[in-house]
Chain A
């Protein structure tokens, strides 16, 4: 059935792109979380050092 091909093509592209974007967002999200954690731990060190 020719039309099913188009339907799957459309659904495939849309949900593929959305999932891709979600993963890239998650990856950036996790990297940012790590950086925040690393920065806050560095600040703790600094506070201890000053005490």
Chain B
């Protein structure tokens, strides 16, 4: 799976991501109208929804990298899984931070056991477990295989976690209007929708820019390692 973006193309990707981010900021903060109920606090949604989806995207890439690695045993796929996991942890952690900041003005508390926040917290724990597992196994190929298996199991478990957390959530507290977990795209102001869309693409492009950078870095460290070994003999 060729994701190594040559030097200049990565520059374009970075520049495009930057532009979209700025446009997204403009739309999200200024152009889009405040929400009827939550006022301006609702503008955090333009960050929250895209970063959740990016977190899911990175989990999917870890899964793809892990499967490819186990199947073909190529270092490249392992680097992809590792890079996706590293960036995935960052986005998942940010998602939780946004979620709790959004919760303060809306419900008056920093943390509610809202289905989406709980789910993101569990995702973060799985990611942390993934990175801890990788760092605690010395031998390279063994660490890669172990991480690959955890990547696959983690991904397969997400739908089950998703279901159980949502059922558990609806059991305790039926979703009310004010709750941010109602589907944001029904009866929503068109300007808000476009702001959301722009921010979403900005996040995805930024994610792939970071991923290609981290992936290239991974490849270079690998190259340095093999070169240093060969020179050693």
- Consider the complex of A and B and state whether they touch directly, i.e. have CB atoms less than 8 Å apart: yes
How many angstroms from the CA of A1 to the CA of B40 in the assembled complex?
9
CB <8 Å contact, A10 and B231: no
With a cutoff of 8 Å between Cβ atoms, the chain B residues found around residue A21 in the complex are 87, 90, 210
CA distance A11 to B51 in the complex (A): 12
User: How far is it, in angstroms, between the C-alpha of A2 and the C-alpha of B87 when the chains are bound?
Assistant: 32
CB of B203, distance to nearest CB on chain A (Å)? 10
Query: Do most interface residues of chain A lie in helix, strand or loop, or is the interface mixed?
Result: helix
Q: A10 near B40 (CB under 8 angstroms)?
A: no
Give the chain A neighbours of B141 by CB distance below 8 A.
none
What count of chain B residues pass the 8 Å CB interface test?
Answer: 34
Partner of B40 from the list A4, A14, A43 (CB cut-off 8 Å) is: A4
Contacts of B93 in A (CB 8 A): 17
Determine, out of B130-138, B146-154, B177-185, B211-219, the stretch whose residues face the partner at the interface: B211-219
Q: Which residues of A contact B124 (CB under 8 A)?
A: none
CA distance A10 to B227 in the complex (A): 44
How many of chain A's residues touch chain B, expressed as a range?
A: 20 to 34
Chain A residue with Cβ nearest B93 = A17
Closest-CB distance, A29 to chain B (whole angstroms): 5
Whether A11 lies near B231 (C-beta < 8 A) is no
- Determine if B97 and A14 form an interchain contact, defined as CB atoms under 8 angstroms apart: yes
Q: Which residue of A lies closest to B47 (CB)?
A: A14
Q: Which residue of A lies closest to B230 (CB)?
A: A43
Is there a chain A Cβ closer than 8 Å to B228's Cβ?
A: yes
Segment touching A, from B57-65, B73-81, B99-107: B99-107
With a cutoff of 8 Å between Cβ atoms, the chain A residues found around residue B220 in the complex are: 29, 32-33, 35-36
Known: A35-B224, A39-B231, A43-B231. A7 touches B217 (CB 8 A): no
Q: Mark B184-204, 1 if CB is under 8 A from A, else 0.
A: 000000000000000000000
Query: Does B41 lie at the interface of the complex (its beta carbon under 8 Å from any beta carbon of A)?
Result: yes
CB of B227 within 8 A of CB of A39, answer yes
B41 and A14 contacting across the interface, CB-CB below 8 Å: no
- Chain A residues with Cβ below 8 Å from B210 are 18, 21-22, 25
Interface centre among A1, A6, A9 (most CB of B within 10 A): A6
Cβ-closest chain A residue relative to B38: A3
Q: Which residues of B contact A2 (CB under 8 A)?
A: 105
Is the Cβ of B104 less than 8 Å from the Cβ of A28?
Answer: no
Is A7's CB under 8 angstroms from B94's CB? Answer: no
Q: List 17 A-B residue pairs with CB atoms under 8 Å apart, sorted by A's residue number.
A: A3-B41, A3-B105, A4-B40, A6-B44, A6-B101, A7-B44, A13-B94, A13-B98, A14-B51, A18-B90, A18-B94, A18-B210, A21-B210, A25-B210, A25-B214, A32-B217, A40-B227
Q: Which 3 A-B residue pairs are closest in the complex by CB-CB distance?
A: A3-B41, A32-B220, A10-B101
